[in-house]
């Protein structure tokens, strides 16, 4: 089973700041997917197939990576971006999630 490790676990960012969240896989994966979750709500697909933005996601978000290292980047942090972000991969026959990165507004 592939284990996903996210870093940092928690972080704060000021409005306008650039934010990068990293997800490392214990073995190579083809794609990484990302979800955003706010308190009391279900996770929302945010970035899929490593770099494609889900419907409605602002273009200040981007995703990149390959092999065992992937990242989600926010250019110009906004208040509404404060949330927990999870990475997720599929590698037959298992789906796994990272532990999450809680992003707070400074």
Min dist CB 15 to other proteins, Å, is 26
Using the structure block, give the residue that is written with the tokens 């990068």: 20
Judged by CB under 8 A, which stretch of 18-26, 40-48, 58-66, 69-77 contacts other proteins? 40-48
Distance separating alpha carbons of residues 91 and 84, to the nearest angstrom = 23
- Nearest one of 42, 45, 82 to 63, comparing CA atoms: 45
Q: Is 28 in contact with 68 (CB distance < 8 Å)?
A: yes
Min dist CB 1 to other proteins, Å, is 6
- Given the rule CB under 8 A, which residues bind other proteins? 1, 31, 33, 35, 42-45, 48-49, 54, 86, 88, 90, 93-100
């Amino acid at each position: 089973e592939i284990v996903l490790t996210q870093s940092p676990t928690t972080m704060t960012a000021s409005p306008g700041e650039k934010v990068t969240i990293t997800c490392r896989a214990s073995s190579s994966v083809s794609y990484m997917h990302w979800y955003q979750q706010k308190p009391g709500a279900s996770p929302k697909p945010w970035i899929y197939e490593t770099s494609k933005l889900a419907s409605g996601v602002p273009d200040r978000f981007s995703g990149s990576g390959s092999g065992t290292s992937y990242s989600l980047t926010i250019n110009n942090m906004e208040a509404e971006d404060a949330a927990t972000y999870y990475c997720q991969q599929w590698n037959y026959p298992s789906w796994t999630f990272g532990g999450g990165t809680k992003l707070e507004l400074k």
